[in-house]
Chains A and B, each alone.
Chain A
Amino acid sequence: MIQARKLSRTFKTRTGPVQAVRGVDLDVEKGEIVGFLGPNGAGKTTTLRMLTTLIEPTAGEATVAGHDLRHDPVGVRRNIGYVAQGGVTLDIARAGEECVDQARLYGIKPATAVARGRELFGQLDLDGLWDRNCNSLSGGQRRRLDIVIGLMHTPALVFLDEPTTGLDPQSRANLWEHILRLRNDQGSTIFLTTHYLDEADYLCDRLLVIDNGTIVSAGTPEELKSQVSGDAVTLTLADHGRAQDAVSVLSGLEGADTPTVDGDQVQVHVPKGGAALPGLLRELDGKGVDLAAVEVRRPTLDDVFLSLTGRSLRDEPAA
C-alpha cells in the first residue's frame, strides 16, 4: 500500500533550514494497521503530509495506494483518506453537509453521498446529528465526524493523524474500537500517528518509531518490547541494610543486568521476570532477606523509546 524510500523534507525558516524528515523508508502492506510513534516534533505529521500529497518532499520517492507520489498525485488523492490532527470541519456548517460536500469532490453523486454519509453516521455512533451545526457537537462526536468525512469515498488506505488527541478516555477507547472495525470489517489499511503508548500498543500491528526525523526502530509492539532489556523486577526491602545481599542474589539470576539500588528499593532487569520470581523469593528467604514488597513490570513502549533514544516519551510536553 505504501512504499517510501529516503523521504525527506527540509523547511526554510527565518532561522535557517529545518530538516523535519531525513531519509524515511517505509513499507506498509494491505490490511495492516501501522503506527508512527514518536514525540512531538519528531516529523510524524510532516511525513504524513508528504504521503498525502499536501506537501512535496525535498528528496525521496514513494508509491502510495499504487500511485507514484511525485508523478501522479491526483491518483494518490483518489485512493486515500486523510483525517488531520486539528479537525476538518467548519463551525457554522452542518455535519451532514460537510460529509456530502467532501464526497462530491471525489465525483460521488449527491444522493449516493447522502446515503453513504448516513450509513457511516450509523457505524460511528453519530445518528441524529446530520443536521446539527458542527460547533454543537462534543469533542468525541466531532472527531468521529472528521473520520466519517475521511471515509466518505471508501478509500483503501486511511491516514489518521493523532486520532484521539484531546479526547477523554471513554471517547478514546470508543474510537479505538471503530478504527479496529474499519480494518476488520472493511479491510482498510490504516496508517496512524500517535504519541500515546497505550494507543500504539492496542491498535497497531506494527510500529515505526520516529525521532528527530528518522526511523529509529520498526517492528510489532511485542518485538520492540522484547528488544529492551526485559522485565523490571523491583524489591522493596524491609531492612535497607540487606541491600547488598539482595543485589548479589539478583545478579545471580539468568540474563540479569546490573542491579540498581535506590533507598530501600533494589531493581534488576531479567528476560522473564514472572518465571524467575518463585526461585528468587526462595533464595532471598533462605538468606533471611525480608521483603516488604515485590513488583514485576513488563516493558512498556516508553522503555522501548528510552532504550532507543535515551529519552522518555513521557518527558515530552503533553499534546
Chain B
Amino acid sequence: MTFLRDTWIIFSRSMRLSIRNPIWVVIGLTQPILYLALFGPLLKQVVSSTPGLPPGDAWQIFVPGLLVQLGIFGAAFVGFGLIAEYRAGVIERQRVTPASRIALLSGRVLRDVVVLLVQAIILTVVAVPFGLRAPIGGVILAIVVVAALGAAFASLSYAAALRLKSEDALAPLFNGLAIPILLLSGILLPMSLAPTWLRDVADVNPLKHVVDGVREFFTGNITSSTGLWGLLCTLGLVVVGTWFGTLTFRRESA
C-alpha cells in the first residue's frame, strides 16, 4: 500500500518547506494572540457581572473560542499555498507519478495539523500568564479537537483551492464565510448570552457545539453531553472535509 509511504513523503517535503519559511506559522498565530492580549482582559469584567454564561472564569470561557478560531482559520488559508504549488506545476508533477492521489492531500493536511498543534500549544501556554487555569486532561482533549478541526478545514481549503485554482476566487469565498461562522459559533462571547432566535440559528452551526464542548473540557468536565456533542460535530466535520478533499484530488483536471 503506497498510501502511507506517499503520505510520509509529501508530509516530509511540506514540513521541510514550512520550517524553512516559518513566517506563515507566525502569522497564523498573530490573530489569536492579539485577541488574547487585547480583547481577553475586557472579558474579566463582563464574566464576573453577567448572568447566563457557561461555567468557568473569563479565560476558561474565552481561550476555547480562540483555539477553535485557530483550528478553523489557521487551516482555512492553506488553500492559497496549494494554488501557488499548482501554478508552479508541482501538483501535476506529483500526479504523473504512481503516488496515491489521496496521499497528495493527506501529506499536506498532516503538515497543517502538526503546525496547528504547535500553534495551539503556544497559544495555551501564552494564556497562562494572562490568568488561564485549566485541567491538563481537558486541555489535551481540546487540542486534539483543534487538530481534528484543522484537518477538516485544511482538506476543505485544499479542495476549494484545487477546484477554483485562483486566489481571486478563493479569498472572497473564505472572507464571506469567516464572519458569519465567527459570530454564530460563540467564539468571542458564548451563544448562551443570545436571545432565543439567535441561539436557535447558532444551534445549526456545528462549530457552535464544538466551542461549547471545548469550554466544558476546560472546566474539567470531560464526560458531559455537551462535550460529547462537540466531539461528534468535530468528527462529522472531519468526515465531510476528508471526503470532499479526497473527491477533488481524484478528479482529473485537478
Contact = CB atoms under 8 A, between A and B. Distances in A.
A105 B9 contact: yes
Contacts of B13: 97, 101
Interface string A56-89: 1000000000000000001001101010101111
B216 interface: no
Contacts of B85: 90
B92 A74 contact: no
Interface stretch (A47-55, A120-128, A243-251): A47-55
Given A104-B9, A105-B6, A107-B2, A89 B98 contact: no
A233 B226 CA distance: 91
A88 B9 contact: no
Contacts of A97: 13, 16
B38 to A, nearest CB: 33
Given A92-B21, A101-B9, A101-B13, A84 B97 contact: no
A92 B252 contact: no
Contact of A88 (B2, B89, B98): B89
B198 to A, nearest CB: 40
Say what secondary structure dominates the interface of chain A: loop
A88 to B, nearest CB: 4
Contacts of A106: 97-98
B88 A90 contact: yes
Nearest to A135: B88
Interface string A28-63: 000000000000000000000000111110000000
A102 interface: yes
B89 A89 contact: yes
B96 A86 contact: no
B45 interface: no
A55 B95 CA distance: 10
Interface in A261-318: none
Interface in B73-119: 84-85, 88-90, 92-99
A97 B15 CA distance: 13
A7 to B, nearest CB: 15
B179 interface: no
Interface in A143-189: 149
Nearest to B91: A88
B21 to A, nearest CB: 6
Contact of A87 (B2, B88, B252): B88
A55 B252 CA distance: 5
A210 B99 CA distance: 32
Contact of B96 (A54, A89, A93): A54
Interface of A: 52-56, 74, 77-78, 80, 82, 84, 86-93, 97, 101-102, 104-107, 149
10 contacts: A54-B95, A54-B252, A89-B88, A90-B84, A90-B88, A93-B17, A101-B13, A105-B9, A105-B98, A107-B5
Given A52-B96, A82-B96, A92-B21, 5 more contacts: A54-B96, A86-B89, A88-B93, A90-B17, A102-B93
